Chain A
Amino acid sequence: MAKWDYDGPILEIENLSISFFTRAGEIPAVMDFSCTVQPGEAMGLVGESGCGKSTVALGVMQDMGKNGRIVGGSIKFKGRDLCKMSQEELRQLRGSEIAMIYQEPMASLNPAMRIGAQLMEVPMIHAGATSESARKLALEVVTAVRLPDAERILRSYPHQLSGGQQQRIVIAMALMSKPSLLILDEPTTALDVTVEAGIVDLVKDLGRTYGTSLLFISHNLGLIRETCDRICVMYSGEAVETGSISDVFNKMRHPYTQGLFRSIPLPGADKNSRPLIAIPGNFPLPHERPNGCNFGPRCSYFVAGRCDAAEIHMATVDGNDRHSSRCLRFGEIDWKAVPERKAATEATIAGKVVLKVDALSKYYNVAASALFGGAGGRTVKANEGVSLEAHEAETLAIVGESGCGKSTLAKVLLGLETASEGLVMLGNNSIGNTQIENRSTRTVADIQMVFQNPFDTLNPSHSIGAQIIRVLEIFKVGKNNAERQARMLELLDLVKLPRAFATRKPRQLSGGQKQRIGIARAFAGAPKVVVADEPVSALDVSVQAAVTDLLMEIQRKHRTTMLFISHDLSLVRYIADRVMVMYLGHVVEIGTADQVFSPPYHPYTEALLSAVPIADTSVTKKHVVLEGDIPSAMNPPSGCPFQTRCQYKKQVPGNLCETELPAMRVMAAGHQIKCHLSQAVFDSMEPVIKMVSAE
C-alpha cells in the first residue's frame, strides 16, 4: 500500500471509546474522546497515570492486546478509518506512516542487533529499498538526530550507547520512513533533565523540518508547553479540555485544568506566602467513576443535581481557536478569581547547625574481577570533597542528575556506607565512619529517610500498622504494645490518613498514600534530620502538591532538618531554603535558594535551570542545551568535572579548566561556586528565567 495524499487533517479521532474486557467485566479506559491533528501540528495529550492517554495512542496504532477493544467512535488517519483496515494494511501503515516512540528506549531496541541493521530494516521492509540506499539514509538520519560519529554509532549495539543516545536512535528509527504522524509516549521520562532538554529540542526541530505531525503524550505540562501547539487534557478516560496552548494555559475553562496548574510549583509560588493548592481527594478507579462529571467529587465548583445528573459533553468555548471544555458551568465560573489560599505561614527561622559534613569523600574500588582480584582495579569517586552544613528546621535541597553522587551522600549519612575521607557530624557525634550496626538507637532514629519509589517503600507482605509499630519497637518508643499501638494511630493522624488503614496491606493503598506512610515511618522516632530522596517524583502532579505540603507541615512542626534530594528544580525552588548543586561527586554550587536561582550561576546550574520545562506561558527562558552526556564516574574528566560539557570553557584563559580543579569561591555570604570563570563573566550573566507580564 503506497502512501497516499490527503488534504485534510492527519488524524481525526471522533467519539472514541475503548474498553478492556477482563474477568471482572468491561472496564472503560477511554470514553467519548475526540481530537484532530492537522498536518505539521503538534498535539499534546496530558493527564495523570491511568487517565487513558496511552490507551488513545495504542488505539491509534490499533494495538490494544487481546483484552482491549474499540467499542465506539472512529479513528481516521488521512481520511481512512483505521478500525476498518485489515491486519495486513495496518502492518503496512505502522512504522511507515505512523511511528511510535516509547518511554524506555532500551526496550524499543533489539539488544542483539547492531544499530545500523535495525535502522536499515525500516526502509527495506516498507519501501523495498536496497541495503546501500538504506544505509545511506540511516547515516543521514543519525546525523539528523545530532549524534556524533554516525558511522561508529551504526556499528554499535544498543547497550554501548547511553540512555539519551538510545532515545535519539529510537527517534531516528521512527524518522527513517518519513512518517506523517509520530506518536511519542512519555519519551523523556526515563532521562535526566539536561538530556531531556536535548531530546525536546530535537523533536521540535524535526517536526518543523520534516513537517511531521506529533502526538505528544506526557504528564508534564511544562514539556507540553515547550513542544506542542495544541493540548488536550484528559481525566479519568475523558478529554476534559482541549485547545491551543495559550488558551488552555492562560484562559482555562475546566476546573481540573485549573487545579492542575494550581498544584504545580510555577515560578512565583512560595511555600510560605503562596503555597500550592492540591486537588483534594483521589483519582477514581475505572469502576468507581461517579455519575455525570468524573471530576465532580473533587471539584470546588460542584453543584449537586446538575453536575452529577447526566453525562456531560464537550462544549465549545466561544471566541477562542477550537477550544472546548467538558464542564457544564464554565460560563458561570469566575475564572479570574484569585483562589482562596491557606493562610500564609511564617517563614521558619533556621536554628543551630545540626548536621555538618566536612570534605567528605567516598570512593568505591571496582576490582577487575571479584574472584581473582589483583591489579586492574579502578576507583569510582562517588563523592569528592563534599562539605555542607544543615541547620535546624531548614530544608537543604541537593540537586543533580543521575550519577552525581547524591544517593551515595545519603547512604553515608545514614550509615549504609562509611566515608573514605572527611567528617560527618550529627550534633556533636562523628558518624561518618560508623556503620549503622554500630550506631546507637538514638543516632539511628535521629537521621531517617523517605524513599523515592512508593511501590517499593513498603513491604507488601506486612500490614501498614505492623510496619509502623516495628519502627517504634526498634526505636524504643513506648513502653508496651498498647502504647506503641496508640502512637502508631497518632502517626496515621499526623500524615492525614484514616486510622482504619492500620490493618490494610500496602497493595490496597494508592501511591500517594504509600508515600504518606513512608513519611510517617521516617518521623516515627522524632528524627533531627530527614533525608527525602525524590519523595514525590514518582507521584502524579495533583498528588505531589499534597504530599509535599504534608512533608513541609510536619517538618515545620517538629523543626526537623530536611535534606531534599531532587532533580526537579521547580519543586526545589518552591520547597528549599538552601540549595546545593552536585555534578559528578562534586558540589559545584551552594547557597540560599534565591542566590542559586539568580545570577551569577555556575555554568552547570545555568544549564539545569534552562533545561527544566516550565508550564507558564508568561516565562521566557535563556536557551542552553548541553552537548553530550554525563561522563562516567569511573573515568572522570581531568580538571573541572564539568569541563567536557561547559559552554563557558572558552572564556577561561589557557587550559586551566582541563588541568586544575577549581576551588570553591565565595560569591556572597553563604553563596559558593566552584568555577574558574572571572568575576567579570559572572557579573555579566543574565537570569535564565524571566517573567514577562502575561497578556
Chain B
Amino acid sequence: MEPLSTVAIWGETFARFVPVWIGMAVVFAISIYFKRRLSLYGRLFDSPVGMFGFGIILFWILTAILASRIAPYSAVDQVLSMKNALPGKIESEFGISYIFGGDNLGRDVFSRMVWGSQTVLAIAPFATLFAYMVGVTLGLPAGYFGGWFDTLLSFLANLVLAFPVILLFFLLVTPEIARETNVPTTLAAILFAFPLVFFTIVVYSKYHTQPDKVWLILGTGLAFGLWAYSGLAFNRDPLGVFGMDPNRLNIFVSVVFVNSPTVFRIVRGMTLDIKTRDYVAAAQTRGEGPWYVMLWEVLPNARGPLIVDFCLRVGYTTILLGTLGFFGLGVSPESADWGFTINDGRRLLLVTVYPAMAPALALMSLVLGLNLLADGLREQSMRD
C-alpha cells in the first residue's frame, strides 16, 4: 500500500484526536457559560492568553485520559515489519498507518507520543505539589519566626540550589545508587512525610477549638495518608493500591528535592511581607497559635503568586523530565517518556524528522501552555 501523503498524515492526526476535540469543546462551553461563578478559574476565560494556555494543557490532559482511544497501539507493541518505518507507512496486517513513523524496534511513534503524556502528567504536577508541601511547611515558619531556624534553612536551601542539578540527578538516579544504597527510599520517607505533617497542622490549628470535629477529620485523614505513605514511600501497601515503580519513585523524589528550596524561598519571602499586616496582629492579639496565623492568615494571601509559580514550576519540571529521559536517566527501556522518545528519534533525524519532532513538539507545547496559563492567571489575579 502507498504510504500517506503529508496532508493525509495531518488529516489523520486531527481525526485521531477527535475525542479530545469533543472533550475540549464541552469543557470550554461549560466553563464559559458559568464563568461568572467560578472566581479565578472563570476569570481566566476573560484573558485570551490564559484561555489559549489552558486550552493546550486541557488538550494534553484529555489526551492522557483518553490515550487508549487515541493511540492505535500500546507504547510497547512492536511490529517487526515497521522497524524504522517512514511517516505514513501503513501496517499491512491491520491496515493502520504509523503516521509519525516507527522506531528502531518497530513501535509506533504516534502512539508513544500519546502514551508519553501520561508519564509526564503523572509525575510533573504531583512532584511539584509535593515540592510545594515541603517548601510551604518549611518556608512559613522560617519567614514567620526568623532567627537561627531561618538562617539554617536558608543556608541549606542555598546549598541545594548551588549544586549542579544534572549532576545531582545523575547521582540520585544512577541505577547503582538507587539499588545499592537506600538514599532514594530515605529521601522519599522524609519528603513524603511533609504532606502528612502539613495536613495535620492545617487541620489542628483551625479546629482545635472543636475537639470532637478535630479528631474525626484528623483520624480519617491520617489513616488514609499513612496508608498512601506506606505504599508510595516504602512500597509496602498492605492492600496494594498505592505503589510506585522504583524508577519512577527515584525521578519523583529527585524532582521534589530540587524544586522545594525554590518554593521555600518564595514562601519565606511572602511570609516576611504578609506577617506585618494588621490582620496578622489581630490574630495574634486574640491569642491564635503561630501555626494558625501562618496557615490560615498568611498562606491564603500568598496564594496568587504561588498559583502562578506553580504553573511555571510544572513547566520546568516537564522540561527536567524530558532532559532526564533524553539521557535515559530514571526511565525503564519500555517507558514512553517524551525525552526518551526524542532520543530514539534522534538516530533517524537524517532520514525523517517526525520521530524526534513529534515528542519534542508535544513537550514544547505543554510547557508553552503552562507558561501562558501562568501569564493569564497573573494578569487576571492582579485585576479586581
Contacts and interface: CB of A to CB of B under 8 A. Distances in A.
A436 to B, nearest CB: 5
Interface string A433-445: 0001101010011
Contacts of A439: 287
Contacts, number: 58
A441 B286 CA distance: 9
A495 to B, nearest CB: 16
Contacts of A521: 282
B210 A473 contact: yes
B316 to A, nearest CB: 27
B151 A416 contact: no
A471 B209 CA distance: 11
Contacts of A268: none
A459 interface: yes
A82 to B, nearest CB: 32
B151 A474 contact: no
Given A461-B301, A462-B300, A473-B209, A444 B278 contact: no
Interface residues of A, number: 31
Nearest to A531: B285
Interface string B198-221: 000000000001100000000000
B288 interface: yes
Given A437-B289, A441-B287, A473-B210, A460 B282 contact: no
Contacts of A448: 285-286
A371 interface: yes
B286 A456 contact: no
Nearest to A455: B278
B284 A456 contact: no
A415 B286 CA distance: 10
A444 B209 contact: no
A470 to B, nearest CB: 8
A316 B116 CA distance: 79
Interface in A425-474: 436-437, 439, 441, 444-445, 448-449, 451-453, 456-462, 471, 473-474
Nearest to A440: B287
A564 to B, nearest CB: 17
B278 A456 contact: yes
Contacts of A456: 277-279
B334 interface: no
Contacts of B177: none
A436 B285 contact: yes
Nearest to B383: A23
A414 interface: yes
Contacts of B288: 474
Contact of A459 (B286, B289, B300): B300
Given A451-B278, A451-B282, A474-B209, A461 B300 contact: yes
Contact of B284 (A416, A457, A462): A416
A665 interface: no
Contacts of A208: none
B278 A471 contact: no
A471 B296 CA distance: 13
Nearest to A458: B279
Interface in A190-235: none
Q: Most A CB atoms within 10 A — which of B279, B284, B300?
A: B279
B69 interface: no
Contacts of A461: 300-301, 303
Nearest to B289: A437
Contacts of B278: 451-453, 456-457
B297 interface: yes
Interface string A503-530: 0000100000000001001000100000
Nearest to B303: A461
B279 A459 contact: yes
Contacts of B210: 473
Interface string A539-564: 00000000000000000000000000
B137 to A, nearest CB: 19
Interface string A395-435: 00000000000000000001110000000000000000000
Contacts of A473: 209-210
Contact of A507 (B279, B285, B300, B384): B384
Interface string A243-264: 0000000000000000000000
B279 A416 contact: no
A65 to B, nearest CB: 16
Q: Most A CB atoms within 10 A — which of B277, B282, B301?
A: B282
A449 B279 CA distance: 11
Contacts of B287: 436-437, 439, 441, 444, 474
Given A436-B287, A473-B209, A416 B281 contact: yes
B12 to A, nearest CB: 42
B282 A449 contact: yes
A461 to B, nearest CB: 4
B285 A416 contact: yes
Interface in B246-279: 277-279
B196 to A, nearest CB: 24
B40 to A, nearest CB: 12
A475 interface: yes
A415 B288 CA distance: 12
Interface of B: 151, 209-210, 277-279, 281-289, 296-297, 300-301, 303, 384
Enumerate the 6 nearest inter-chain pairs by beta-carbon distance, A residue then B residue, closest first. Answer: A461-B300, A456-B278, A444-B287, A451-B278, A459-B279, A473-B209
22 contacts: A415-B285, A416-B281, A444-B285, A444-B286, A444-B287, A445-B286, A449-B282, A451-B281, A456-B277, A456-B278, A457-B278, A457-B279, A457-B282, A459-B297, A461-B301, A462-B296, A471-B286, A474-B209, A474-B287, A474-B288, A475-B286, A476-B209
Given A416-B284, A436-B285, 14 more contacts: A371-B151, A414-B285, A437-B287, A441-B287, A444-B287, A449-B285, A456-B278, A457-B279, A459-B297, A461-B303, A471-B286, A474-B209, A474-B288, A475-B286
